[in-house]
Chains A and B, each alone.
Chain A
Amino acid sequence: MSETQEQDGPRELLSAAAAAARAARRTRQGAWFPLLLLGLIIVGAIPFYRLNLPTMAPGSSGVLVGRREEPIISGEITDPRADWYWLIALIAGYGAIALFYRWRARRTGVAGRIWPYTVAGLLLFALLLTTGSEVPAPVNLQRVLPGELAGRGLLPLITIGLGLFVLAWTERSLLLAALATVYLALAVVANLYDTENLFYRLGWISPWDYENAPLPNLLLPAVPLLLGGAVFALRTWRAR
């Protein structure tokens, strides 16, 4: 835009303002990073969701709160160290996301608001910590959640999905909202159903042995996050 082009018609003015706003939006969006990071965090949880581990013996303690009869998050049949994993990985993850957006703002010259997303993600996870079996009834989510939603110890997948809707709102991205919807649906399935059973129902032989049976329940929501992150990264790279 040259300095002599100040006398524009209303249509040209609106069009120029919309183009400038689009450029700012494209530059500030950085959803590829949280998507890839959260996908990797979910994949990183796989070792804690193997069956038949010594730590799954009846009466084993959830390590997060010391001498609990049951772990807070990790379910009744998986490694209670998953509690610690989710706690450390999600706090570090949301912290890394905030730092990434800050670094990106300094590099590009456009800053977007990321704190609503990181705060929402951490608050949702904090809310999850109230699902412990020893928490009193009025605030014990396990007693009000439908079906066996809390039984597989994969509720952090749900909090990640709900947080993604906040990210879609701050990024003003319908594509991200669509991805969050797909992810959340798969996360709910992963919490309610042993997806390995699909192989048997379809008459196929499961590629996983008994010990690794929960693995597809983690891969199911992780894959769309990783693929979505790759697509968003490609879009960002091509927009440069």
Chain B
Amino acid sequence: MTHPATALRELVHQRARLGVLAVVHEADRADFGFLQSTLDLTAGNLSRHLQALEEAGLVTLERGYHGKRPRTWVRITKAGRSALQEEITQLKALIARVETRPEDPESAD
């Protein structure tokens, strides 16, 4: 049986990227400003995460304007939904494995 930790996908197994996928999975689409404030990231950091997710085909970016201000909208792709679901399943399996592991006899009183 594969250990859940080995099945985790490095690309998604980060708080910021998992957060991005969780937000755009919940909404039809979310803009850069909302993601930045909700996930408490700097603009540069969020840009790098979005670029990585876009290159992996997990999200799509729509660049446009709101008035004269540029605005970027983020949508999740089908592959992104699968990756998010897979990551959540593996994280839950990992937690369940830790919780059901027998107590270490050496650490017992």
Contact = CB atoms under 8 A, between A and B. Distances in A.
Interface residues of B, number: 35
Given A3-B41, A13-B18, A13-B91, A109 B28 contact: no
Nearest to A16: B15
B14 interface: yes
A16 B40 CA distance: 11
Task: Please indicate which of the listed interface residues A1, A5, A17 has the most CB atoms of chain B within 10 Å of its own CB.
Answer: A17
Given A28-B27, A109-B33, A17 B41 contact: no
A239 to B, nearest CB: 13
Interface in A115-171: none
B26 A1 contact: no
B15 A8 contact: yes
A183 B25 CA distance: 30
**Secondary structure of the B contact surface, majority rule:** helix
B38 interface: yes
Task: Please indicate which of the listed interface residues A1, A20, A24, A105 has the most CB atoms of chain B within 10 Å of its own CB.
Answer: A20
Given A2-B40, A23-B23, A24-B23, A108 B91 contact: no
A109 B18 CA distance: 19
A58 B99 CA distance: 76
17 contacts: A3-B42, A6-B14, A6-B15, A8-B15, A10-B98, A12-B15, A14-B88, A14-B92, A17-B19, A18-B22, A20-B19, A24-B22, A24-B26, A106-B66, A109-B32, A112-B27, A112-B28
